[in-house]
Structure 1
Amino acid sequence: MEYWRKSIRLDGWDYRFPSFYFITICTKDRIHYFGEIRDGVMGLTEQGCAAWYFWDQIPDHFDNVKLDAFVVMPNHVHGIIQIIPNENGSHSVGTLHATSLQNTGLNNRMSEISPKPKSLSAAVRSYKSAVTRWCNAKNYEFSWQSRFYDHIIRSQKSLDNIRLYIEMNPRNWESDQEHSINSQF
């Protein structure tokens, strides 16, 4: 029996398309690897510093990405990623080639579910991988939740509200713990 998880991405949306995206990535089992909040201020562990550092490195690896507001919380990160058009004003469209699986249904399925080059999912996968590799190299116990949450930001008002939410997140941590971190959008 084949089992494929349904994607939580917006059906029909090309995540290589220029837009602002609000991202939340959680640690596995929401373990507090990244530090703790005291009096509304986030104190980072070394893993939290790595999470911050590697987020800042994303544009060095993805020339179609600009970063906006970002915060590291004890068990998750929130950030805004902007996918920008290339120099001629269009967005990048890449293809994946799975040569060892050519002409098979599995090849088609893997192409469908794999992150496309220069896509939001490719950037997030690269980020998660960099943090995980760093933690493993330092012998820290660490693991991400397998998926991530995204919200396509469609207006300036929404962008402003999300920026404020990210900025205020450490100060609102105590009251926010009782609610889903994604419930406000």
Structure 2
Amino acid sequence: MKYNPEIHHRRTIRLKGYDYSRAGAYFVTICARNRECLFGNIVDGETTLNDAGLVIADEWAKTAAIRNEIELDEWVVMPNHVHGILVVGDGGGTARGRGTARGRGTARRAPTIEQFGRPVPGSLPTIVRSFKSAATKRINEMRKTPYAKLWQRKYSLHDNY
């Protein structure tokens, strides 16, 4: 269905004027498109990841390893979404991923100052967008489904954790 502003009332969940490159911990949820169980199943009360789910776990773990400005805290890949606490650093510290398929990285530099209309390195939106893009590319290559959409638009951001 095409977007119609008369019936679809999209509103942002972001705090107006808040700088999402500020140091802090953010609890995010990123859902699969149409909340389909694309990443695995629940078997006997436990999440069992399929190949796509393992790619998601790997890309999430890489998030801190390749982005020096963030750390991963607790995180988990579920059959149709990912929960994670991302810690945007202030330039110091060591990252420790404590989620499913644990990841490690370091936080060494502070994010750059936001510039209107441009992606801000180290900001939460840029981190999430990069993760979603990398995971989508790998899964589409694996499934031989170029340009297939994997994620819902945006992501849920829970109160500054």
TM-score range, shorter-chain basis?
Answer: 0.7 to 0.9
- The answer to whether 1:73 aligns with 2:78 is yes
Identify unmatched segments of 5+ residues in structure 2.
93-107
TM-score computed with the length of structure 1 as normaliser: 0.66
1:48 aligns with 2:53: yes
User: Do 1:69 and 1:79's aligned partners in 2 also have CA atoms closer than 8 Å?
Assistant: yes
Deviation of the 1:118 alpha carbon: 1.1
Number of equivalences: 136
TM-score, with structure 2 as normaliser: 0.75
Q: In the alignment, which of 62, 68, 71 is matched to residue 63 of structure 1?
A: 68
Is the counterpart of residue 131 in structure 1 residue 150 in structure 2?
Answer: no
Distance 1:75 1:117 in 2: 27
1:93 aligned onto 2:112: yes
Give the ranges of 4+ consecutive aligned residues of structure 1 lying more than 4 Å apart after TM superposition: none
Q: Which has more radius of gyration?
A: 1
Match in the other structure for 1:121: 125
After superposition, the CA RMSD in angstroms is 2.4
Instruction: Please report how far the alpha carbon of residue 136 of structure 1 lies from its aligned counterpart in structure 2 after TM superposition.
Output: 1.1
More strand by share: 2
1:77 aligns to what SS in structure 2? strand
CA contact (8 A) 1:94 1:118 kept: no
Mark the runs of 5 or more structure 1 residues left unpaired by the alignment.
97-107, 155-185
Q: C-alpha separation between the residues in 2 aligned to 1:140 and 1:71?
A: 26
Which has the larger share of helix? Answer: 1
